[in-house]
Amino acid sequence: MRARHALISITALLTLAWALLAQAQRAGGPMTMPPAPGSLPAHKFEKVAEGVYFSTGTGSINTGSNGAVIVNADDVLIVDPGITAAAARSFVADVKTLTPKPIKYVVDTHYHYDHAFGNQVFGPDVTLIGHDMTRRHLMANVLQQRTYQTNSVQAIASRFTQLNDQIAKATDPQEKAVLQRQLAIHQQYADEQKLIKPTPPTTTLTNDLTLHRGGREIQIRFMGRAHTDGDVVVFLPQEKIVATGDMVTNGLSYTGDAFVQEWPATLEKVMTLDFETVMPGHGAVFKGKEHMKNLQAYWRDFYTQASDACRRGIAPEEAAKKIDLTKHAAAIPAAKAPGVDARGVDRVCDLMKNPNAPVR
Ligand SMILES: [Zn+2]
């Protein structure tokens, strides 16, 4: 997978991080030993407001996307349970270190595997909430589709090849030990994939759903199509916090089943919400609306160049190499090399023929 593609696929992003780590090692930098495979905590919680936490992985297992924990008067809501049943079970266990209150609500920001495949661990006492389209996707052949096959199945296989190769070449015992631990963690993740049973939300929304839990108001809102056709944001009006899923990340989100043409307008609507803090689907928490404006400009240019190539009949693979969005690199470092994900261009061409083209 080319470097620029790696920037848009989160699984591949991790691969890139590992590669950079290996590079640091070659340059004489330290290699950090990950925590023991499967050990708790698997999640780091960053307090964003009273009872509101942003969640990322510690590295002991593959947790997938970022998540959020919202502790209410009597119960807990979590956003995006993670990539596997093991990820979600460890999320539940780690939440117990924050509060004894039970998790009663899980919100899927969208249907992608790295956010929603943890759904399967929750019983009937937990309300799984998502958009109608998220339910529809998770009831379809999501395991056979391009998004899962390329970002997960193929990426897992390449990661095995890469790690085994690095282990074979490693001469430093410390480096070898770190790589072997990374391999063990990756093996656990690969094993967990075999246990995936895509599980749809049981409570769905078309536009809005608001939970009033004690003094907490939690708005779950569909603002338009963007990263998928079922993206919802979780908005806390009193705390001025929004969790966006992959509609907003610190890098460039995957575009293989996106609606790039509609994405800027959807972000415009999101920006009408009165928030100060953003919890993105991947990357760190940030403040303000500037990054969303930069993403709007990026996706507009992406669409202009991709749709032009589609109109001229250029094959997506070829067009993707030539599309140049490097003028956005100052605002969005992930755009620093020319070229984009061919799957995104392919998707733009599909949607030009049919505005409701199914995912592949
Ligand atoms: Zn996604």
Q: Domain with 269 in it: what CATH number?
A: 3.60.15.10
Domain count, the chain: 2
Indicate if 136 and 49 belong to the same structural domain.
yes
Pairing verdict, β 208-213 and 67-71 = unpaired
Indicate if 32 and 128 belong to the same structural domain.
no
Question: Does 221 have pLDDT greater than 50?
Answer: yes
Q: Name residue, tokens 């539940």.
A: 92
Indicate if 12 and 62 belong to the same structural domain.
no
pLDDT tens, position by position, 139-173: 999 999 999 999 999 999 999 999 999 999 999 99
Indicate if 182 and 212 belong to the same structural domain.
no
Indicate if 202 and 187 belong to the same structural domain.
no
- Stretch 220-228: mean pLDDT, rounded? 98
Task: Please tell me the distance between residue 111's alpha carbon and the centre of ligand 1 in angstroms.
Answer: 7
Task: Please tell me the distance between residue 335's alpha carbon and the centre of ligand 1 in angstroms.
Answer: 18
pLDDT band (50, 70, 90) for residue 31: confident
Task: Please tell me the distance between residue 340's alpha carbon and the centre of ligand 1 in angstroms.
Answer: 17
Task: Please tell me the distance between residue 293's alpha carbon and the centre of ligand 1 in angstroms.
Answer: 20
State what percent of residues in the chain have pLDDT above 70: 92
Indicate if 257 and 328 belong to the same structural domain.
yes
Task: Please tell me the distance between residue 167's alpha carbon and the centre of ligand 1 in angstroms.
Answer: 31
pLDDT tens, position by position, 88-144: 999 999 999 999 999 999 999 999 999 999 999 999 999 999 999 999 999 999 999
Indicate if 320 and 174 belong to the same structural domain.
no
Q: In sequence order, what are the residues at sequence separation of 6 or more whose Cβ sits closer than 8 angstroms to the Cβ of residue 95?
A: 69, 76, 78, 103
Task: Please tell me the distance between residue 79's alpha carbon and the centre of ligand 1 in angstroms.
Answer: 13
What pLDDT is recorded for position 17? 47
List the one residue out of 90, 91, 71 whose CA is nearest residue 80.
Answer: 91
User: In which domain, by residue range, is 264 found?
Assistant: 43-141+198-353
Task: Please tell me the distance between residue 253's alpha carbon and the centre of ligand 1 in angstroms.
Answer: 7
Task: Please tell me the distance between residue 254's alpha carbon and the centre of ligand 1 in angstroms.
Answer: 6
pLDDT tens, position by position, 48-87: 999 999 999 999 999 999 999 999 999 999 999 999 999 9
Whether the bond into 237 is cis, omega within 30 of 0: no
What pLDDT is recorded for position 12? 47
What pLDDT is recorded for position 30? 60
- Does residue 358 lie in a domain region? no
Question: Looking at 158, 193, 228, which one is the last position of a domain?
Answer: 193
Task: Please tell me the distance between residue 100's alpha carbon and the centre of ligand 1 in angstroms.
Answer: 30
User: In the chain, which ranges are continuous DSSP H helix?
Assistant: 3-6, 10-26, 85-95, 113-116, 132-139, 146-148, 155-169, 173-193, 263-270, 290-311, 316-322, 342-353
Indicate if 202 and 338 belong to the same structural domain.
yes
Task: Please tell me the distance between residue 172's alpha carbon and the centre of ligand 1 in angstroms.
Answer: 37
Indicate if 159 and 273 belong to the same structural domain.
no
Note the pTM of the prediction, 2 decimals: 0.91
Are 233 and 243 within 8 A, CB to CB? yes
